[in-house]
Structure 1
Amino acid sequence: MYKDKVNFLRSLKYRSIMSQNITIDHAHQLCELVKHAITNSILVAHQNIQFKIDQQQVVLTGNVNSYYEKQLAQESVSRVKGVRQVHNCLTVEPFLQEEKAEFAH
């Protein structure tokens, strides 16, 4: 049982974060806070946004409809306590949602 837990912990990608004296619980909590910040932002909640966290740096990827939404996503994440830096790699594809709706009809 103990070996299984050790192997599980070693398999996590939080090892680099752990070297900075941040436990897995803190890394998991940071992940949940970032997810919460994105989903609670009204304009970007339904966009195609993914993120990765490495050493308290968040990388945003995916698509949004406007530069305003791109900036809003970045600002929402940067306000999360524990986030040191945000790399905004979001792609702006205007009217992506509307085009999808047109093709559905």
Structure 2
Amino acid sequence: MYKDRVNFLRSLKYRSIMSHHIAFDHAHQLSELVKHAISTSNLIANQNVQYKIEQEQVFLTGIVSSYYEKQLAQESVSRITGVRQVHNRLTVEPAQKAVETLSTN
């Protein structure tokens, strides 16, 4: 169901005429698309990445194991239509150090 909704929402940009009877919660839609972008990226899906959305701005927080993964997370989210700005507050820690940090919390 989740993938069906994401595919449906993506297809809307290609429709020239939309029914006025359909109402979307833009914040929820944006949240689902951000969640999908993070979860489908093989490198960052298993990382400790959280997000918060405020007025079409996405705030990324958490821990990733490389600067490449940090940039990948930002690029994945910034490509989403409706995201005005991405604030990348991800912390980079090598994999072993990140595991130690998470186990002490």
Q: TM-score, normalised by structure 2?
A: 0.69
1:37-91 superposed Cα distances (whole Å, 9 cap, x missing partner):
0001110000000000001000000000000000000000000110000000000
Shift of 1:24: 6.8
Q: What fraction of aligned residue pairs are identical, expressed as a percent? A: 68
**Contact in 1 for aligned 2:70/2:90 (Cα 8 Å):** yes
- After superposition, the Cα gap between the structure-2 partners of 1:99 and 1:32, relative to the gap in structure 1 and judged at 3 Å, is closer
Matches within 5 A, 1:61-80: 61-80=61-80
Using the alignment, how far apart are the partners of 2:80 and 2:64 within structure 1? Answer: 20
Structure 1 alignment gaps of length 5 or more: 1-22
Change (3 A) 1:24 1:53: farther
Aligned-pair RMSD on alpha carbons? 2.0
**Which whole-Å deviations, capped at 9, do the CAs of 1:2-23 have from their partners, x for residues lacking one?**
xxxxxxxxxxxxxxxxxxxxx8
- Would you say how many aligned residue pairs link Structure 1 and Structure 2? 79
* Pair 1:26–1:43, CA change in 2 (3 A): same
Return the TM-score normalized by structure 1. Answer: 0.69
Shift in Å at residue 98 of structure 1? 8.3
Larger Rg: 1
1:53 aligns with 2:89: no
**Structure 2 letter corresponding to 1:56:** E
Following TM superposition, the consecutive aligned residue runs of length 4 or more in structure 1 with deviations greater than 2 angstroms are 96-100
Gaps of 5+ in 2: 1-22
Q: How does 1:1-105 map to 2 (within 5 A)?
A: 25-96=25-96, 99=99
